[in-house]
Structure 1
Amino acid sequence: MANPKATIAKAFENLQRSLSPEHRHTFASTELKDVWSALQEIQISQRKRNSAQNLRRIEPLLRGLEKYAKVIEVLCNGTPYLSFIWAPIKLMIQLASNHRDIFDALLDAYADIGSALPRFDRYGKTFESNPEFQFVLAEVYSTIVEFHQRAYKFFQCRAWHLMFLSSWKDFKARFDGILHTLEKHRDFVDREASSIDMVEDRATRLQILEGITESQRQTTALLESNEEINRLAQFHSSISWLGVDDKKQEAERSRRLGRKHSGTCEWVGQVPEMKAWLEDNNLAPVIWMKGKPGAGKSVMCTVVIDTLDNIESLNVCYYFCNNEDDGRDNPSERILGVIATQLLRAHPELASLITNEFILPGLSSGLGQLRTLVPKLLELQRYTRIVIDGIDECSKSGQKLLLNELQSTCLGPKLHSKILISSRKEPTIDAELGKKPNICLDENENVEMDIRRYVNHKIQLVQSNFVGELEPEIFNQIATSIVDKADGMFLWVRLITQELEQCFCGRDLEECARSLPHGLKEAYGRILDRILDEDVSPQIRSLSVRILEWMSCSYRRLKIHEILDGVSIHRDCTSLESNTKLHRRVFDLCRPLIEEGPSNTVVFVHFSAQEYILKASYKQGGPFIRPENAHLNIGHSCVAYLNTSFRLLPQNSTEEERIEWIFKGLHGLQTYANQYWLSHIVDYMDQVVAQKLEVPEYLLQHLQEILKYSKAGLIGDSMQSTGTANANCKNNIDRLASLRRFSGIYSLASEVGNFREGLKRKDWTRKQIGVVSLETSASDPSWFSTACHHYQLALEVLLNPDFSKYPTQGLKSFRDMYGNSAFTCRYIHCNRATDGFDSLQQREKHESKHRREYRCDIATCVVFMKGFATRGQLAKHAKTYHPRIADETTLADAARAVKKQRDSVRESSTPATPQQSQQQPQSVMNNRPQGAEAPWTPAEGALALKVADRYLAAASDEDKNNMRMSILGGLDPAKSRRYQAQGIDPLSVYYQNHAVVSLRQEKQRQLSNQQEGQGMAASSPQSAVPMQQQRSGNPNAGDQAQQPQQQMLGNADSGFLGAVDPSHQNANPSATNNPSQRGPAAIDSDEEPYTIKCICGNSKDDGNTIYCESCDTWQHIECFYPDNVEEASRDDFSHVCGDCNPRPVDRMKVYRRQVAKQIIKSGLNDIDKMPERPLFQNISYGGPATENTDINQDFDFDSFLDHDDESDDESASVSTSPSDSFWDEIGIDPTPFNAVE
């Protein structure tokens, strides 16, 4: 037992460390009357505002502390400790008084503490010098101070009122533990004086106090573990809820920072405008960094971000816009989502706010919620800087919306945040930011110096290739010429120096230096001239142009393998084979216009390069890439590929064939072509109509062939013109109007388009994702969904780490190429249906957002993000995995138990008369709970240990290791650590429990046989008759046998070492589906009934069930899929029960497996109930061991241990042949103990 004064001192020091210097000084001089005065002032103030709250709730606490102070003065003499148990109360009620909900929560907490606080005035004088009483005083001080310390942290956060209620919800478990500790100490010193009398001897008191301390220590350890698990779960749930991939922004930042040359851009932090922007005030909240294309704005932004990262207590958020944002009318949702995600990663404690205020109420993460969330997150930070680069890459309409959204959402007097916008000088942006402070990179001396430093470095690299061939002066002239013509554009310099690096002789180098282009447009034009040079073969020219077409006119950023496969298919090569696939070095044809981007993509070197290719006038007046030609070539490649992928349908190939084709890389274009082929064809046909072009014959042939994808068997000729259709064409209404003259294609396109549009409006709430995928394929009027579905299945097989059919190096290369973003969303209307996720887990989190679900209240639950389709399923889950834990036995109850055990031992030493021995079992039965098993005698305990040893000896090492791992997996970490520290092997405890149930079952069998032999009615074989009752000489024992007995088998809630609460028992198994008959613990007003209807005949829920939608019932997964449990547990697994889909099943084998599982589960449950010392060492028993209760008189243990399954005894008819299973070698004959085959 710890020293009381040391306990108080330690608690005081912990609190002191968490306080500010100001509060330490204030608390030391605060008296209890100051708290009363503060309460009166608050009451007066609230009445003036007509917002008075019931302050009397705190009165019991203050009265209790006043009495407590008088008792603990002995321990606190000469120390400042005492004032710190009430001073924090004054501070916190003053801070919370202006926030009604927070003040109310705080008052409730103080009221709970006041009611749990021992009333020391009753026993203070009596036990004033009692060491145990002083120990309790110290523990109470420590507990109260712990509450103050944790509550104080809530009030010290910036904008604490925003986070308080969310954090308070998470604090509830810890607060309940604090109250529970106080209540335990209250039981020791208050209300039950008789409890003290019963434990008047010091040894017992010390034992009880040590038990309280140990219980408190274990509870604290478990709470800390659970809190950490809860924090992680909330963090991951919040990241998933926000639903943005901020990792792409990190990759963009790293890629752009890699372009920075050492020693450049460092001046930006010294610019006066930047210094003012960095200051922690509300001045100059927006700064605009502007410059011409290629001036190095993106690299400059990354330098600013890195600088901000090194400033302590400052948060930096950033977003690099790209051409994907150009297709969004308002990219604000994505950008605000990234800002929120970056703040959350920097401060994981914010997950509590997101979880409790947004996720649990079931709110979406749309723009409306982000407008509320982001300001809250910013207000909680000391100060934040936000950097947005490339806003000019967004659409014209999106630019203005985004600027307004950022300023209205991220700026404000309480937010302490500022924004840096980086862009070209676009008219829309200039109208919004023209009057804001700005940093202009055009004609900037610092930029010129950086360019000179960069050019000198690059020219030195070029010079190293011509050592001794050219004079150094030539390279100096080239460097000077490049600097003079750069005009402040880093990108131009980069393009030119890369061109110089491609010169392999002095003449070419001098020629290149003499003809330097002026500006970026000339630089781009010069690169394109090289691509179309007449000296280049037509095949190479065509290949280069097709690469640029795919990159500039695709509907999303493409992966490397998608561009390679798309370019490989053209007019003269309409199918993809191993010998027609292109190597990635083909991209060198278009460098330096393009470069490899993040996540296995290829991107333009700059946004202006794509603009030039598509919009700028090139040579004869038109753009280099004409949209009609690009959509023709891309659309043709997609259609031609899809015609070859018809073999992916299950009726046309086997799974092994599909996996082999995909492994060879012949179907990498599937996801893009399947989703966007029609869009490219329609865009091309629109140009055909507008420009009155002729449709190429080769395209019409492939369009005719693709009609085979129609399930309706469309026979219409895609080339057949329909004048009536053209007459009714309305381009502004019918998106497919340009296809009307081709009736077959128009019909197929209409059906596919209508189907995909309908998916967006369909309610998938009550469908599991596996059902969604199957229903999507089944309801699609074409075979496109089916082909894509089977491609995805085969792809995920290849990406599975356990798949090893092909060579390791080949699989590694395949996964490196296709693994990134391979797990596509299975809702095909989603934009992530073609650009997926890196892992199965990321996809599952994303898909959960498509469904409106009932979510588990426990954020730490593994299925929290998945949710449930109905309230009944949620209630079933909560009942199975999150049951309410019964209150622990009070200290008074523990004391009475100690006294009762001691008295029973004393009585057992006195010989009993025949009358006493005959009556005692009846009284013992009456005192036991109904249905409880009789206590075990030492002889029975010793026998159970022998049986357990037999089990252990019979089991192989492999069996024991597997069983031990299974048991440890079912224990919580705290218990596992406790068993390990005390040297307890859970496997031994399990075998001891199993031995007990075996003995009871065998005794029931022997008793039944004896009763049959005497002409007596045997008791139900499903009930085990208590041993104590049978040992009795009571002639009314048979009447007592009619009392409800505990069911030993078929009830996973029942332990092997005694009865559980009768309210949890199911005397009638058929009543388990009726909530009114399941006992009070199972009744929930919100719960919908659910039915367990399984082939095993057991209606108990084992926590691992599967749903049959056909008949709205549940079955045990292990009964239907014993060898495939993991796959059957997946959400997308399709299941139909045995009644709806009859199939041959070995029902006896299923029954045995279910019974064995119940035995194991019960053994696991009882491990938690086992004493932390060897089993049966100190077993209490109900009465003296007289000759009438001689255990050997009624039960033949020798025959039990030496039982022979081949006995001629009729009772052996219930036995089965021995098996190799370790629990059958002991010789137990009831069928449920047979091995599970």
Structure 2
Amino acid sequence: MASNDQVNETFAKAKSDFFKGLKDPKLRSQLQSVTTIDGIWAFVNQLQHEQSQNKRLLGLNRIRPFVERLGEYAGVIEVFTQVKPDVIALIWGPIKLLLQISSNLVKSFDAILEVMKTLGPVLPMFSQLTRLFETNDRMKYVLSLFFEDILDFYQVSLNFFNLGSWKVLFEALWPAHRAKIEVIAQNIEKHSRLMCDEIMIADVLQAAAERKVAYKHYEAARASKEDQDFYSMETYIRPPIYDLDFDRIRLSRCEGTGTWLQQDTGFEQWLQDGEESPQVFWLQGIPGAGKTYLASGIVEHTRQLGHSLFAFLSYRQDLQSHLSVFHSLIFQLAHQDRHLRTALCHKIMSSAKDMKRDLKGDTKFAIDTFAELLEAAGLTYITVDGLDELSEPVQRTILQQVLDVLKRCQNVKLCVSSRRVDTINRFLKDAAVIVRVDQNNSRCIEGYASYRIQEWLGGSGFDDDACTEIRQLLGPLAEKAKGMFLYAKIIIESIEMLPDVESIREQLEVLPEGLDEAYERILKRLLKLPSGVLKQSKRILSWIACSPVEITRREMEQALIIHPGNETIAQVRSTLNTLQLCGPLVEVKDEWLLFVHFTVKEYLLRRQHDSLLSEGEALLDISATCLTYLSSRMFDLDATDDTVQTNLISGAYRLLNFASSQWAECLRLCVRHFRTESPTELLELLQQFHARSTNSEYDWGMDTNSTYWALQPLKDLPEACDLVSRALDFRRSLRGSYDWRSDEGSVLRRLSETREG
């Protein structure tokens, strides 16, 4: 026989679980304002009167069956289980609170009324079942199940209205919560079937367990479906991912970098949330001042204050459109907030029309989507670094769009980290708090230089006197840097390569004036290398400067042993040491060969005096190397399996992905550079490649337009010109087509992943 104390324990536990599940603990005090059904009707009448004055009558009578059934339930448990008044209060208090909160928005108010209307008939008519409660004590446990169901409904609804974004994203977020309530309604129906004389305690326990399982199963199924939709959409859009760049920059940041910025008044004001706080912060500085490292610190700091989105842009990135930057920001935001992810999936995937294509290619739609998510997200910081390294049209479009978003979303803050270039200055000079990095970072440079020098000298093998002299020679370095971290880095890495104190003394007696002079000294040292080594050095610098995409160390190792016109490709037998061949101008990051800074490329191609590099020669070499490689006997159709296996093991195919995906683009750039007349050697190699690659059985289908690709200089080789044009057409279709696609990723991405591997 069930005692009232035992039954009351189940009610008390349900109450405790309900409070634990509320996302906002402050709601507890508001759930006791109404404790009777009369209090509910009084509030409903008051609300009805207010709505009639505002001409917003929404039919509050819809909730009458629900309230009346709850009234019967409250009377039954009060009589037969003798529950405490605070339990009864939990039946009525949440109704008033839900009606109060939801009435702020017509759609939400109507939705809550409709749910209550639906739940009313599902609840049993408890007043007609009093005989069961009088004769069967086990029925008291069934009553506790209904209490749990009722509290489940209240908890789901109150937690929904606790979301800061519910008003903005109601139509996107409510369906998932409405579906949860449907699961609760199904549980109520199951529990209603337990209202009979034959009920056993085991049946009640099983029903309680099934209630939890049903709820968890729904949550898991919904989350799984949502994840599938989200990742399918992300795969289709393929937004740039800047996380690896951010992590690399963060880990290489010297301790103490940016301490001065955290104490800057303008920066502190920008960080604050409020209407009086500025929305835009411009971290401005000369090349090499360390802006990117400071930007990474800002990202880290703002993560503690709200949502933090970022884009680390670079001249090295093949940025085809401003839209890709916004795609990245949209998906970063969706990854940070499950509810925003739900809203994004609902907007894109749940309509009759599949909107993925619009998100990918329609600027207005993408920006509107981004703004909607931001408006619901709360305080959000966006950090954009390296905007000045992009073309002026892309700079202009990105700034126009993001500043328009800021006008719509007062909760969003923007930090731009860049040089002072005309396009950016026109947009930000009157809109932003501006802080000059190079005028504030001298102590940070001193700390960086001291750390690097100590680290180097500690393992250099120089005696104490030599170390003391070197430190003295480097004493003026921080001042000479004039706000440029890069200058200090280049000087230190330059002398680290020198073998003795005399050479170091010679280099440091007069420090170079600025980056260009520092680069010039490095090139002069390279020009003293033996001719064979110098040739390799020039070739590496040329490829990094002029290749249409980044190249890996392993690809470069093979490119160096290919001699244009030679069908036989030698085997790679050595590892590339870029420090010996290129000095500190080049760094290897995750196997990719990169200039240490974009100013290196600008200097080599535009400003250096010794003409070490020629853009035309570089493009010709890259094109000729690709054509020679693809025309080599390695790719003969009659090659045996043993030959292919030997080539694989020896690494002979390491340049294949680069050459096969980039040969046509390299050739286009080369033809464009030489304009009217292409070099004879290039034309001969193209003819040879065309002869070896022609497939007479293949139907090309659609025509191609070589004029579009400016291939007129190849007009004397019409068939070869047609081959180049079709290869370029295919590359463009992979980049721009929204119809030809695979949810597993594009061919271009697979090629990129293969090259990285």
Instruction: Give the TM-score normalised by structure 1.
Output: 0.56
Change (3 A) 1:559 1:219: farther
Aligned pair partner of 1:7 in 6, 10, 22: 10
RMSD over aligned CA atoms reads 3.2
1:666 aligned residue = 652
1:631 aligned residue = 619
Please give the secondary structure, in 2, of the residue aligned with 1:123. helix
Change (3 A) 1:768 1:377: closer
1:907 aligned residue = none
1:185 positional shift:
3.4
Aligned pair partner of 1:344 in 334, 339, 347: 334
Q: 1:758, 1:267 → 2: CA distance?
A: 49
Q: 1:451, 1:604 → 2: CA distance?
A: 21
1:102 positional shift:
3.0
Note if contact 1:317-1:342 (Cα within 8 Å) is conserved in structure 2.
yes
Matches within 5 A, 1:1016-1035: none
Matches within 5 A, 1:14-93: 14-17=17-20, 18=22, 20=24, 22-30=26-34, 31-44=36-49, 46=51, 52-74=57-79, 75-93=81-99
1:106 aligned residue = 112
1:393 aligned residue = 389
Matched, 1:832 2:749: yes
Aligned pair partner of 1:605 in 596, 599, 607: 596
2:541 aligned residue = 548
Note if contact 2:382-2:415 (Cα within 8 Å) is conserved in structure 1.
yes
2:503 aligned residue = 508
1:152 aligned residue = 158
Matches within 5 A, 1:761-776: none
How many pairs are equivalent? 735
Q: 1:405, 1:372 → 2: CA distance?
A: 10
Note if contact 1:682-1:738 (Cα within 8 Å) is conserved in structure 2.
no
Q: 1:575, 1:251 → 2: CA distance?
A: 39
Matches within 5 A, 1:236-247: 237-243=229-235
Note if contact 2:714-2:721 (Cα within 8 Å) is conserved in structure 1.
yes
Q: 2:180, 2:14 → 1: CA distance?
A: 17
1:514 positional shift:
1.1
The one-letter code sitting in structure 1 at the alignment partner of 2:505 is: E
Please give the secondary structure, in 1, of the residue aligned with 2:124. coil
Note if contact 1:574-1:637 (Cα within 8 Å) is conserved in structure 2.
no
Note if contact 2:15-2:87 (Cα within 8 Å) is conserved in structure 1.
yes
1:59 positional shift:
1.4
Q: 2:185, 2:636 → 1: CA distance?
A: 64
Note if contact 1:284-1:437 (Cα within 8 Å) is conserved in structure 2.
yes
Change (3 A) 1:754 1:300: closer
Q: 1:297, 1:564 → 2: CA distance?
A: 33
2:215 aligned residue = 223
1:386 positional shift:
1.6
Note if contact 2:442-2:479 (Cα within 8 Å) is conserved in structure 1.
no
2:273 aligned residue = 280
Q: 1:683, 1:126 → 2: CA distance?
A: 88
Q: 2:745, 2:562 → 1: CA distance?
A: 24
Matches within 5 A, 1:355-434: 355-361=345-351, 362-364=354-356, 365-366=359-360, 367-410=363-406, 412-413=408-409, 416-434=411-429
Q: 2:739, 2:487 → 1: CA distance?
A: 52
1:1208 aligned residue = none
Q: 1:756, 1:508 → 2: CA distance?
A: 50
Please give the secondary structure, in 2, of the residue aligned with 1:11. helix
Matches within 5 A, 1:92-241: 92-124=98-130, 127-128=133-134, 130-172=136-178, 174-189=180-195, 196=196, 199=197, 204-206=198-200, 210-228=202-220, 230-235=222-227, 237-241=229-233
Note if contact 1:340-1:374 (Cα within 8 Å) is conserved in structure 2.
yes
Please give the secondary structure, in 1, of the residue aligned with 2:631. helix
Matches within 5 A, 1:897-1046: none
Q: 1:357, 1:90 → 2: CA distance?
A: 31
1:709 aligned residue = 693
The one-letter code sitting in structure 1 at the alignment partner of 2:33 is: S
Q: 2:642, 2:85 → 1: CA distance?
A: 80
Please give the secondary structure, in 1, of the residue aligned with 2:584. coil
Structure 1 unmatched runs, 5+: 190-195, 715-729, 770-822, 841-1237
Note if contact 1:531-1:590 (Cα within 8 Å) is conserved in structure 2.
yes
1:348 positional shift:
3.2
1:597 positional shift:
2.0
Aligned pair partner of 1:647 in 621, 631, 635: 635
1:1190 aligned residue = none
The one-letter code sitting in structure 2 at the alignment partner of 1:58 is: I
Q: 2:51, 2:645 → 1: CA distance?
A: 73
Change (3 A) 1:654 1:476: closer
The one-letter code sitting in structure 1 at the alignment partner of 2:629 is: Y
1:250 positional shift:
1.9
Matched, 1:456 2:461: no
1:479 positional shift:
2.4
Instruction: Give the TM-score normalised by structure 2.
Output: 0.89
Post-superposition CA distance 1:135-169 (Å, at most 9, x none): 22222112101211121110101122344444443
1:660 positional shift:
4.5
The one-letter code sitting in structure 2 at the alignment partner of 1:358 is: I
1:22 positional shift:
4.6
Please give the secondary structure, in 2, of the residue aligned with 1:443. coil
Post-superposition CA distance 1:751-798 (Å, at most 9, x none): 444566677898967x989xxxxxxxxxxxxxxxxxxxxxxxxxxxxx
Structure 2 unmatched runs, 5+: 699-704
2:245 aligned residue = 252
Please give the secondary structure, in 2, of the residue aligned with 1:547. helix
Q: 1:648, 1:161 → 2: CA distance?
A: 65
Note if contact 2:668-2:709 (Cα within 8 Å) is conserved in structure 1.
no
Change (3 A) 1:36 1:430: same
Change (3 A) 1:458 1:113: same
Please give the secondary structure, in 1, of the residue aligned with 2:85. coil
Change (3 A) 1:39 1:546: farther
Q: 2:735, 2:85 → 1: CA distance?
A: 70
The one-letter code sitting in structure 2 at the alignment partner of 1:109 is: V
The one-letter code sitting in structure 2 at the alignment partner of 1:86 is: W
Note if contact 2:11-2:147 (Cα within 8 Å) is conserved in structure 1.
yes
The one-letter code sitting in structure 2 at the alignment partner of 1:227 is: E
Note if contact 1:177-1:219 (Cα within 8 Å) is conserved in structure 2.
no
Q: Which has the higher helix share?
A: 2
Note if contact 1:731-1:737 (Cα within 8 Å) is conserved in structure 2.
yes
Note if contact 1:703-1:745 (Cα within 8 Å) is conserved in structure 2.
yes
Matches within 5 A, 1:270-349: 270-282=263-275, 283-309=277-303, 311=304, 314-325=306-317, 327-328=319-320, 330-331=321-322, 333-349=323-339
Note if contact 1:68-1:120 (Cα within 8 Å) is conserved in structure 2.
yes
Aligned pair partner of 1:521 in 516, 524, 527: 516
Q: 1:56, 1:740 → 2: CA distance?
A: 81
Note if contact 2:562-2:570 (Cα within 8 Å) is conserved in structure 1.
no
Q: 2:46, 2:496 → 1: CA distance?
A: 80
Matched, 1:682 2:668: yes
Note if contact 2:658-2:755 (Cα within 8 Å) is conserved in structure 1.
no
Q: 1:119, 1:521 → 2: CA distance?
A: 88
1:563 positional shift:
2.6
